[in-house]
Structure 1
Amino acid sequence: MQVKVFANLRVICGGVSVEVHPNGDRAMDVLDKMIEMFPDLKEEIYTEEKKLKPFVHLYINGRNIIHAEDLETRVKETDQLALFPPVAGG
Structure 2
Amino acid sequence: MLVRVFANLREICGGVSVEVQSEGKRVIDMLDKMVEMFPDLKDEIFTPEKELLPFVQVYINGRNIIHLDGLVTIVDEQDQFALFPPVAGG
- Provide TM-score, normalisation by structure 1: 0.99
What does residue 86 of structure 1 align with?
Answer: 86
Cα shift readout 1:17-61 (whole Å, capped 9, x = no counterpart): 000001100000000000000000000000011000000000000
**Gapped regions of structure 1 (runs ≥ 5):** none
CA separation in 2, counterparts of 1:66 and 1:48? 19
- Provide TM-score, normalisation by structure 2: 0.99
Over 6 Å off, 4+ runs:
none
Identity of aligned residues (%): 71
**Gapped regions of structure 2 (runs ≥ 5):** none
* 1:3 has 2:10 as partner: no
What RMSD, in angstroms, separates the aligned Cα atoms of the two structures?
Answer: 0.4
- Count residues with an aligned counterpart: 90
SS across alignment from 2:18: strand
